[in-house]
A and B are shown apart, each in its own frame.
Chain A
Amino acid sequence: MAGTDTHGRAERRSAGELESEVLAALWATERPLTPAEIQAEIDGGLAYNTVHTILKRLYDKGLVLRDADGRRGAYRPAKNAAELTAEAMHEALDRGPDPIAALQQFVTGLSAEEERALRDLLGGGAV
């Protein structure tokens, strides 16, 4: 796939969507990331300046912390609200099949045979 193609697609994404992607990238890893590392981590070639702008906006909203773990210029996600949300989610899940089961979840269950087929699809590597 041509670099310009992916770049063009990135440009079409809205600011809100890019915020989600940067936040998702920060949550996907245990360690704090610098803007350059985030840029590399995000699929679809964002400009460095764009990453910087998005990080500033996330910081202003209190969703990320700067200079995390003594690493200057590195960011990691703020945990407080996310932990409260997790508690609320588990509480709702524990209450029984409803109401969260009624939601459209990204994926549902698998049989053993399906599991094997999916592992093959991903190239047999560790998932």
Chain B
Amino acid sequence: MRVDVYTPLLLSLLLPAVSPVIGRRVAPALAARVLTAAAVLTAAATTWSLVLLATTLLGSAPSVVAEAREDGQRLADPVPAAIGIAACAALTVVARRVHRAVRTERATRRALRRLAEGHPADTELIVAASPVPQAFAIPGRPGRILVTSAMLGALEPAERRVLLAHERAHLAHRHGALVTAVTLATAADPLLAPTRRAVAFLVERWADEQAAGAVGDRGATARALARAALTTCRTRPACALGFTDRAVTRRIAALQTAPPPRLWPVALAVLALGALSALCAADATNDMLALLTSVLF
């Protein structure tokens, strides 16, 4: 218990550290999936470890300890009370963050549903007559693609096909669900924030690769991204502030080289990280149950 219970915390430092590298080297579809799976496992294990640490406060409750001593057992409390209290405080923060993240997700869904109102159910493309260049996928059944008239007007015919194929890939591969999962994992375990950013970037890369495959032209795909980004910038003052994570440039650069390999061994290693934290949490649970049993009976 002493080691196991802290291991998930340690692993939630390791996973974000390797995430950006995985994101650059491994095929985006594979990388996004394994990073999300590992993040969800690690977040669940970390939260559970906090629960276990908080539970040790029960174990050191005076009456229980007194009783245990009467039995003549020497109770070795493996977790100092200060850590138990800290775990309780951390759990409160986690609960509040997850609650807020769930509320935001719901608000987003509601706002998106409103955007699809008034359009025929069997139509994939929803156009918004707006001078602001904008395009995004609306997940759901059926999924929709929202594009503004300004964005459509700015692109060449081949580039419009790239845009549609890109958004279609988001819907077909349920990228919304993937990003929601990693967002909730990050809400529970803020240390995973770099992994969330990596996955958010990777689903864009994934959709870019799908679009390049659909139109059969990586160059046209890169040009579509460039033109969309420049058009968006012209109308949005935020662009001039240099507030950017260079995401578009990195996506375009990736399209100008060959698609990255799938690299299964690396992907399996990432999954093993997640599995390891889950195993440690399970092992720590066993130790905890044994400890509680020895105290109470």
Contact = CB atoms under 8 A, between A and B. Distances in A.
Interface of A: 1, 5-6, 9, 16-17, 19-21, 23-25, 27-29, 41-44, 61-63, 77, 79, 81-86, 88-90, 92-93, 98-100, 102-112, 114-115, 117-119, 121-122, 127
Given A17-B124, A21-B164, A27-B153, A111 B108 contact: no
Query: What 10 A-B pairs have minimum CB-CB distances, sorted nearest first?
Result: A99-B108, A20-B125, A86-B130, A82-B129, A106-B135, A86-B128, A43-B157, A118-B226, A107-B229, A85-B128
10 contacts: A27-B149, A43-B158, A44-B161, A84-B118, A85-B129, A93-B132, A98-B104, A107-B225, A110-B229, A115-B230
A109 B243 contact: yes
Given A104-B204, A106-B136, A121-B222, A27 B216 contact: no
Nearest to B105: A102
Contacts of A121: 222-223, 226, 252
Nearest to B222: A121
A114 B186 CA distance: 30
Given A90-B132, A105-B136, A114-B246, A85 B104 contact: no
Contacts of B238: 109
Given A20-B145, A43-B158, A127-B231, A102 B125 contact: no
A103 B136 contact: yes
A108 B245 contact: yes
Using C-beta atoms within 8 Å of the partner chain, give the interface range for chain B: 35 or more
Given A29-B153, A110-B230, 15 more contacts: A24-B152, A28-B153, A28-B155, A43-B158, A86-B128, A90-B132, A104-B200, A107-B229, A110-B244, A111-B242, A121-B226, A122-B223, A122-B226, A127-B227, A127-B231
Contacts of B249: 110, 114, 117-118
B242 A119 contact: no
Interface stretch (B3-11, B166-174, B271-279): B166-174
B107 interface: yes
B57 interface: no
Contacts of B226: 118, 121-122
Contacts of B231: 127
Given A21-B161, A110-B248, A121-B223, A85 B127 contact: yes
A83 B217 CA distance: 33
Given A102-B104, A118-B252, A77 B230 contact: no
B230 A119 contact: yes
